[in-house]
Amino acid sequence: MGGLFFLYGQGGCGKTFLWSTISCSIRSKGGIILNVASCGIVVLLLPNGRTALSRFKISLAINKDSLCSIKQGSPLARLISKAKLITWDETPMISKYCYETLDKCLRDILRCSDSYNAHLPFGGKVVVLGGDFRQILPVILRGSRQDIIQSSINSSYLWHNCKVLKLTKNMRLSLGENNNIQELRNFAEWLLKIGDDLAGDITDGKSIVHIPSLIKSSEIALDDLIDFVYPDMLSNLSVENYFKDRAILAPSSSIKG
């Protein structure tokens, strides 16, 4: 009964496609699935997606004693009870207390239908988490590396109940034609090595990493990047999905200017 799973895969391995396929399958049979994500930009890619904090009424000022603002018998509580599945994308980027807060909430809500649910992770509800630990981890104000690790979902008491499923094939590099496909594959492998701490020569905890030629470092390169991500921007301002399907992530606010 129930189950907790973590879908682990790098970008391009098909997690979003899988979320959409599962959603279509469940909803085609009249079932309810709740798709949530840790950040707003990912929500745009999920069928009827919501941010997790909004959907489950989780406080922004989260701590180990936090509770969801969901009352027994409320419309949201009934919706959660009827849901066949909860999917939560980009799991690694927010605090483990968010998941533990939801766990306490679901145990409380679902124990009304079966008292044994109070002893099951997430009250016996099937929950599928997803993400890539190589990417952004929880941001802890003035936190140390240890603080960040302790705040991650795999440091939670829930993790030992979690079954990890892995997606390993980068589908973006296996579909379609591209003149620079080998160069892109090399770049993808380089990113994996960065994430796995295998790139460069490590000495005393420091590493010198060589940047591939695919990455340019100049102001001209920034203009090229904008033109690549947003081609013919002025003529597409009124196109509904033009900006929804594109994004440039800036590492610092100074770049946005």
Same domain, 79 and 154: yes
CATH of residue 22: 3.40.50.300
Q: Which residues contact 165 (CB under 8 A, 6 or more apart)?
A: 5, 6, 7, 8
Q: Do residues 160 and 222 both lie within one domain? A: no
> Same structural domain for residues 145 and 206?
no
The predicted pLDDT at position 215 comes to: 62
Residues in the chain: 257
Q: What percent of the chain has pLDDT over 90?
A: 48
144-183 confidence digits (pLDDT tens): 989 999 999 999 999 999 999 998 887 777 665 556 677 7
Whether residues 105 and 207 share a domain: the answer is no
Find the helix or strand (DSSP H, E) in which 58 lies: none
Give the Cα separation of 36 and 40 in Å (integer).
Answer: 9
Same structural domain for residues 99 and 223? no
**Residue 90 forms beta bridges with which residues?**
none
Q: Are residues 206 and 108 in the same domain?
A: no
| Residue 25 one-letter amino acid | S
State residue 179's pLDDT score. 61
109 assigned to some structural domain? yes
Q: What is the DSSP letter of 117?
A: G
pTM over 0.85, yes/no: no
User: What per-residue confidence (pLDDT) applies to 127?
Assistant: 96
For the chain, the domain total comes to 2
Dist. CA 167–CA 149, nearest whole Å: 23
Q: What is the pLDDT of residue 204?
A: 59
CA-closest candidate to residue 126, choices 18, 26, 10 = 26
- 140 or 240: whose pLDDT is higher? 140
Q: Are residues 148 and 223 in the same domain?
A: no
Q: Which of 16-30, 60-74, 172-186 has the lowest mean pLDDT?
A: 172-186
Residues of the domain holding 158? 3-167
Which phi and psi (to 5°) does residue 211 adopt? -85, 130
* Domain co-membership, 118 together with 88: yes
Shared-domain flag, residues 68 and 138: yes
Average pLDDT over residues 89-109: 95
* Same domain, yes or no: 101 and 219: no
CA–CA distance, 13 with 10 (Å, rounded to integer)? 6
**89, 38 in Cβ contact below 8 A?**
yes
Which residues are within 8 A (CB) of 143 and not within 5 positions of it... i.e. 6 or more apart? 151
pLDDT of residue 18 exceeding 70, the answer is: yes
Dihedral of CA atoms 113, 51, 246, 26 in degrees, nearest 10, equals 10
Residue 175 counted as domain residue: no
SS3 of 27, please?
helix
Q: What is the pLDDT of residues 208-229, one digit of tens each?
A: 777 766 665 555 567 777 888 8
| 184 token code pair | 């892109």
Please check whether residue 173 lies inside any domain of the structure: no
Residue 67 lies in a domain: yes
Query: What per-residue confidence (pLDDT) applies to 185?
Result: 75
Specify whether 131 is located in the same domain as 37. yes
The answer to whether the CB of 173 falls within 8 A of the CB of 185 is: yes
| Average pLDDT value for the chain | 85
Six-digit token pair at 57?
């009424």
Residue 148's pLDDT is what? 92
- Of the two residues 134 and 26, the one the predictor is more confident about is 26
Split at pLDDT 50, 70, 90, the class of 70 is very high
> In terms of domains, do 13 and 130 share one?
yes
Task: Kindly indicate the confidence band of residue 102, based on its pLDDT and cuts at 50, 70 and 90.
Answer: very high
